Structure 1
Amino acid sequence: MNSKQLQYFLTTVHKGSIAGAARELDIAQPAISQQLASLEREMGAQLLSRTFSGVTLTPAGDLFLTHATRLMDDINNAKSELRELVGKTAGTVKVGMLPSIGNVLSMPLIAEVKQNHPKLKLEISTGPSYSVKGWLEGRQVDIALTYEQDVDPRFMTVSPVIRENLHLVMANQATSSEYSHLAGRESIPFWALSQFPLLSPGNKDALGKLIEHYEKATGVNLQHNLAYSGQLMTGLRQVMQGEGVMILPTSAIFHLEESGLVSTLKIVEPEMQRLVLAATNKTSPLNEAVLKMLKVIKQVVASEQALQHWRGSLAFTDQSEMKGVLASGSLMSS
């Protein structure tokens, strides 16, 4: 039994004849007769008495009419609720992110939304962490992908995404004699970073705050003497020209590493990491489109992490990652 058979049965009863149902549904009479006969065989009873003047319900048909009406009502209600749900997930979602995150996430996120979520429209803005924070506070974006160093529990609700490993990024060891002695190594202790001139943002930026935190925790002072524009792409050009090194996650440079333009060493002793968060403004109610986009973002992050484009551990399966991040903020469910 299917909804088509139920529809044909109810319309035939309502119109009093198969011919009337055929005109109502704009379907050939034999097609309706065939479906009704199939329905009766499945029910194991004759539901309609057929005469030249039309059809009438048999006792079995009269009983079945009650159930058929209820079933069609349930089907129509389900369709209506699903249409409403799909309608709620439609809409434009504005996402703000840092250039390092955008480098790994923007293109696959756009592709995923376009291919599998056509009712969603994605708008991406990239900028330094303090700009992304301001956009979220001013409701210029719906979702901000940022770092724990920039969490403000006064207006942010956050969900952990990935705890990323930070690396020393330098000119390719094979082409730069300055770094040739590091060839064959996979990691470098934090204290050894003090040997290299560092291109780093100021402590207004989340990364700058993190580097300063590790310097204080270890007692190691790094070389911050190089002029840095604050623009990621400009800094990476300087790195590739051998003008200095940077501390970055692989999300920012995986494409350059795969092309052999830069080399990376994981920073250890202590291991240098930072937590990426998806933040929303707690003063703005979340609609279905934003909730859906949050799930899509986590799905794409997991894919990029599996490809080793974004090295680290997924954090949205472990709420304990957030202990200590917010003393008085709330976490959205993952």
Structure 2
Amino acid sequence: MVLDVRRILLFTEVARRGSVTATARALNYTPSAVSQQVSRLEAEAGQPLLERHARGVTLTDAGRALAERGERIERELTAAENELADFAGLRAGTLRVGTFPTVGASLLPRAVIAFREAHPDVRLTVRSARIAGLWAMLENREVEMSLMWDYDWNRIDREDIVVTPLADDPPALLVSKDHPLSDRSSAALADFADDPWITRADHHPVAEALARSCHAAGFEPQIAYEAHDYQEAQAMVAAGIGVALAPTLALEGIRAGVSVLPLQPPAPVRRILLVRMSDHVLTPAAQAFAGFLRDAASADTAS
């Protein structure tokens, strides 16, 4: 037995109004069309559901039971419509976003604050990881979209993703306040060819950016220290161990004793990106959050 839900709902309306004619009038059908649908439902049920008489209809026991079920179906459908409306209207739901540390400490918080103020009923979860971890979370659908980055020599280019560039993140030079060139308004890498360098440990991409940039400037950097994060790198710069290269977004908090010198071109600018899998259609919450990310990136670029 397979019952047509639309016929059940129509039958429930007939039961509620007690008349085929009244139901037809209310739903803008013809009485014969309503009668045909009820007859087909009775055929599906294998038994009569209505007893027809001159003044209207009377439900059989089976018809009464089915009408009660029909009312429950109506309530569930109404609840489903309201729930979907809540998701569409950003009054409910969960949004999971991936990020990486430097953006998580700079651009991302502004977008999070704006999103939570605008849509406080949506639960926002943020997961931070290196690039490999972000790819795994995207592919496993642990996050709906993720912030990522790339350089000219390793562009993110896959057929199964959608990439939205948000901002360019140029590098800067970190030097000790006691360095002879610390009062410059900008600098070139070649000016620091004889300096010891602080780089990132564990084959971090910024270490590759430093090596490539120095080679392009005609020298091999002398590595004096390998730091595991930018705060550690700043501490070593302030102590006079060497100079360092860092993306601008990694410089939200500059410690005492460190000068930041904008780097003259050519410089290894990285792109900040928003990435999602191409077979995943963004939810209304994700679309709204992406807008706040673009706003935050634009404000950061303008400043």
Instruction: State the TM-score, normalizing by the size of structure 1.
Output: 0.57
Matched, 1:131 2:129: no
8 Å CA contact 2:167, 2:271 repeated in 1: yes
**8 A contact 1:166–1:273 mirrored in 2:** yes
Equivalent of residue 120 in structure 1, options 119, 122, 127: 122
Q: Is residue 222 from structure 1 mapped to residue 227 from structure 2 by the alignment?
A: no
The Cα shift of 1:90 comes to 4.2
Shift in alpha-carbon separation, 1:162–1:83, aligned structure 2, 3 A:
same
Gaps of 5+ in 2: 1-81
Contact in 1 for aligned 2:111/2:296 (Cα 8 Å): yes
Give per-residue Cα distances to partners, 1:271-318, cap 9 Å, x unaligned: 442211111122433222212211111112222333x3xxxxxxxxxx
Could you tell me how far apart the structure 2 residues matched to 1:120 and 1:209 are?
Answer: 39
DSSP 3-state at the match of 2:112? helix
> Aligned pair 1:160/2:165, yes or no?
yes
Could you say which residue in structure 1 is the equivalent of 2:283? 287
Query: 2:16 matched to which residue of 1?
Result: none
Counterpart-to-counterpart distance in 1, 2:182 and 2:234: 20
- Within the candidate set 85, 88, 92, 1:86 is matched to 88
Kept in 2, the 8 Å contact 1:113–1:121? The answer is no
Structure 2 match to 1:234: 232
Contact 1:137 1:155 in 2 (8 A): no
Superposition deviation, residue 119 in structure 1: 3.2
1:245 matches 2:243: yes
Per-residue deviation, 1:163: 1.0
Q: Is the 8 A contact 1:89 1:292 kept in 2?
A: no
What corresponds to 2:33 in structure 1?
none
Counterpart amino acid of residue 101 in structure 1: V
Change in Cα spacing, 1:126 to 1:246, as seen in structure 2 (3 Å) is farther
Residue matched to 2:113:
111
Q: For 1:116-173, what per-residue CA distance to the aligned partner results, in whole angstroms no more than 9, with x for missing partners?
A: 22233322233333333333333332222221246241443211111122100133x1
**Which is further off, 263-272 or 199-208?**
199-208
Aligned-partner Cα distance in 1 for 2:137–2:207: 20
Which residue of the partner structure matches residue 46 of structure 2? Answer: none
TM, length-normalised to structure 2: 0.62
Task: Specify the SS of the correspondent of 1:162.
Answer: strand
Sort the Cα spacing of 1:128 and 1:240 in 2 relative to 1 into closer, same or farther, 3 A: farther
Q: Provide the rounded CA distance (Å) in 2 between the counterparts of 1:225 and 1:162.
A: 31
Does the C-alpha gap of structure 1 residues 279 and 205 become closer, same or farther in structure 2, counting only changes over 3 Å?
farther
- Bigger CA radius of gyration: 2
Q: Which amino acid aligns with 1:161?
A: L
Percent sequence identity over aligned pairs: 21
Does residue 277 (structure 1) correspond to residue 273 (structure 2)? The answer is yes
Report how far residue 85 of structure 1 moved: 6.5
- What is the CA–CA distance in structure 2 between the aligned matches of 1:113 and 1:269, rounded to whole Å? 36
Matching residue of 1:297: 293
Using a 3 Å threshold, how does the CA distance of structure 1 residues 225 and 254 change in structure 2: closer, same or farther? Answer: same
Q: In structure 2, how many angstroms separate the alpha carbons of the residues matched to 1:135 and 1:248?
A: 26
Structure 1: unaligned runs, 5 residues or longer: 1-79, 309-334
Aligned to 1:100: 102
Paired residues of 2:230 and 2:246 also in contact (CA < 8 A): no
Indicate if the aligned counterparts of 2:100 and 2:128 stay in contact, CA closer than 8 A: yes
Hey, what's the Cα distance between the residues in 2 that align with 1:111 and 1:222? 40
Structure 1 residues 89 and 211 mapped into 2: Cα distance closer, same or farther (>3 Å)?
farther
In structure 2, distance between residues paired with 1:89 and 1:214: 48
TM superposition shift of 1:225? 4.0
1:107 Cα deviation after fit: 3.0
Q: Is the Cα contact below 8 Å between 1:239 and 1:245 reproduced in 2?
A: yes
CA contact (8 A) 1:90 1:289 kept: no
Partner of 1:254, secondary structure, is coil
Aligned residues: 220
Corresponding position of 1:5: none
Query: What amino acid is the match of 2:289?
Result: M
Contact 2:213 2:267 in 1 (8 A): no
Aligned to 2:185: 186
- SS of match in other structure, 1:132: helix
